[in-house]
Amino acid sequence: MNAADTAWIIVATALVLFMTLPGLALFYGGLVRARNVLSVFMQCFGIACLMSVLWLAFGYSIAFGTGTTGYWGGLGHMFLSGVDASTVRDGTTLPEVLFFAFQMTFAIITPALIVGAYVERIGFGFVMTFSGLWMLLCYAPVVHWVWGGGWLGEMGLLDFAGGTVVHINAGIAALVLALLIGPRIGFGKEPMPPHNMPMTLIGAALLWAGWFGFNVGSELAADGVAGAVMINTQIAAAAAVLGWLFIESLQKGKASLLGGVSGAISGLVAITPACAVVGPMGAIILGFVASIFAYWACTSLKKAIGYDDSLDVFGIHGVAGIVGALGLAILMSPTFGGVGFDEGVSMASQFVIQAKSVGVTIVWCAIATFVLYKIVNSVVGMRVSDESERTGLDTTSHGETAYHS
């Protein structure tokens, strides 16, 4: 074990947890209408607690167990069986209990991201039941495929901190659920503006700061690579903000705060898989390009298809995640200041590997999400009544209100 590495990952773990509580909760909470803000807080809060227990019970073992196949980690490490404070995680200088805790924060935020697709119309029971099953049966297997010695990692997929594992996974699940659930009452007919943009800005700022734990922490060491990852993360986010505001100004004549924070998240998403293999110039290009694609997805594509992904989880996390996963194969070239390719690997062959892995993740997540939705909806019930939706979930689901006159 290395004391410096251990100390840094303890901090990084707290930063990633901070991304969900309170970062994501505030970010999403400000974007919904005032009568639903507490319901969003409760969904993020409840998911964080449930995923912590389920990750200990089964999730970590499924993702990082020593299963004999490239598809499933097995159940040998249920409840951290065989792991104690003296166990060192293979390939790291960290105690495995700390590696478990760091990865637990990823398992918390990934299903919490999906909340943005169905806010304001889904019952709390469905949220908790679906999120728990989805983490165990969709997210954890993909983690094993990519980071746990599974087949996608062996194939050569590069995903440093979660482009496929976290963002494409969550984005595709959000799109599938938005299509299955249907739009909010009044969607497209009445205005549904964010009720508190200052709250959203605070949440976005916490997410941005926490992302250094997310990306830099994924180096699992306090070293030079971690420093480079920090620079790339910051530069990509900044370039994406500028890209989003630029195209928004061209199309609408004004640059909005909502556009700025949306651009920041899209840039952070895009750089996540690529932050250790591109250089600062590649980070600028990737962030800027990702923001343009995400803007298009959140406006033109969403309008063309007509789905109600309420807070644009697919448009930002799914689309920017795909851009990042594919774009790294180009931008890791030394021409753009990247680290270059392994021996025997070309830009074209790496791009094919990335594309295959993205495709597999999309198909797996779409099928798993569809099946779990059908099962949970038939048992628990998904959508609240029209009356509850009009009244607001704060009152009807939780018996509370965020604001009093």
C-alpha dist (Å) from residue 229 to 89, 143, 214, 222, 224: 22, 21, 10, 11, 9
Closest CA to 108 of 13, 30, 173: 13
Q: Per-residue pLDDT averaged across 169-180, rounded?
A: 98
Q: Which residues of 215-253 are buried (b: 16+ CB within 10 A; e: fewer)?
A: bbbbbbbbeebbebbbebbbbbbbbbbbbbbbbbeeeee
Which residues, at least 6 apart from 9, have a Cβ–Cβ distance to it below 8 Å?
A: 94, 98, 99, 102, 217, 220
State the residue for tokens 């039941």. Answer: 129
77/26 Cα distance (integer angstroms): 34
Task: Please give the pLDDT value at position 133.
Answer: 98
Whether residue 394 contacts residue 36, with contact meaning beta carbons closer than 8 Å, is answered with yes
Query: Phi/psi at 33 (nearest 5 deg)?
Result: -75, 155
Summarize pLDDT for 300-319 with one digit per residue, the tens: 999 999 999 999 999 999 99
Which residues, at least 6 apart from 323, have a Cβ–Cβ distance to it below 8 Å?
A: 270, 286, 289, 290, 293, 294
State the residue for tokens 């063309």. Answer: 304
Summarize pLDDT for 266-293 with one digit per residue, the tens: 999 999 999 999 999 999 999 999 999 9
Summarize pLDDT for 222-269 with one digit per residue, the tens: 999 999 999 999 999 999 999 999 999 999 999 999 999 999 999 999
Query: What is the value of pTM for the model shown?
Result: 0.97
DSSP of 62-82:
HHHS--SSSS---STTGGGTT
The DSSP call for residue 24 is I
The answer to whether the Cα torsion of 42, 308, 316, 373 is positive or negative is: positive
Whether residue 373 contacts residue 130, with contact meaning beta carbons closer than 8 Å, is answered with yes
Q: Per-residue pLDDT averaged across 62-66, rounded?
A: 93
Structure tokens of 167? 């963002």
Q: Per-residue pLDDT averaged across 71-93, rounded?
A: 94
Structure tokens of 292? 């343009």
Whether residue 280 contacts residue 232, with contact meaning beta carbons closer than 8 Å, is answered with yes
Residue 89 burial (CB count, 10 A): 19
